[in-house]
Structure 1
Amino acid sequence: MAELRVEIDELDRELVKTLATRAGYIDRAIELKVIEGLPANIPQRVEQVVRNVRDRADNYGLDPDLAEQLWRRLIDWSIAREEQVLGCCEIP
């Protein structure tokens, strides 16, 4: 069990690292959305991301419903982060 826990802990470190990298891309998206006059929330893009995640989850044997719940939470956080910045700088 101890060896398995070490592997799980390592995987958790990698997941956190990957999520931090994703957050950096969100920061770049904010910059581009300001330039392009785009809103934080683009519903059709949200649904595209969720569809992609569900498909990938299914392909890897992960419960698509679980993946969707996790990603919707991640997307909600990302949109809130974008709105916090864009709210002060939105282009009319």
Structure 2
Amino acid sequence: MTVACTTLEEVRENIDRLDQHIVTLLAERSQFVSQAAHFKKDTDDVKAPQRVEQVIAKVRALSEVVGANPEVTEQVYRAMIAAFIQQELAEHAALGTAG
């Protein structure tokens, strides 16, 4: 649902509201990334380039359906995935030294 804003302040308030949701969802996604590290055998499994491309294709298609810009979506997801891969690599390495 798009809200028709009449001022820049309203635009910013709505962006702030969405940022709250986005960061909350990032935290939830992060928890699943942490769990995934337990199921992967090595760093190649963590990096999983084929899986990355599957996710990118999926979110680009979803962007088309919901009216988002697929290029922006892809750039955001590539950055997010790269950051989560770094998190997961660190967690995977810690699991290797812990067990």
Q: Which TM-score applies when normalising by structure 1? A: 0.83
What is residue 57 of structure 1 aligned with on the other side?
63
TM-superposed CA distance for 1:60, in Å, is 1.2
Percent identity between the two aligned chains: 33
Matches within 5 A, 1:10-89: 10-33=17-40, 37-38=41-42, 39-88=45-94, 89=96
Mind listing any 5+ residue stretches in structure 2 that lack a counterpart? 1-6
Aligned residues: 87
TM-superposed CA distance for 1:21, in Å, is 0.6
TM-superposed CA distance for 1:10, in Å, is 1.0
- Distance in structure 2 (CA, Å) of the matches to 1:27 and 1:65: 27
Q: Which TM-score applies when normalising by structure 2? A: 0.78
1:51 alignment partner AA: A
- Distance in structure 2 (CA, Å) of the matches to 1:43 and 1:50: 11
Q: CA RMSD in A?
A: 1.6
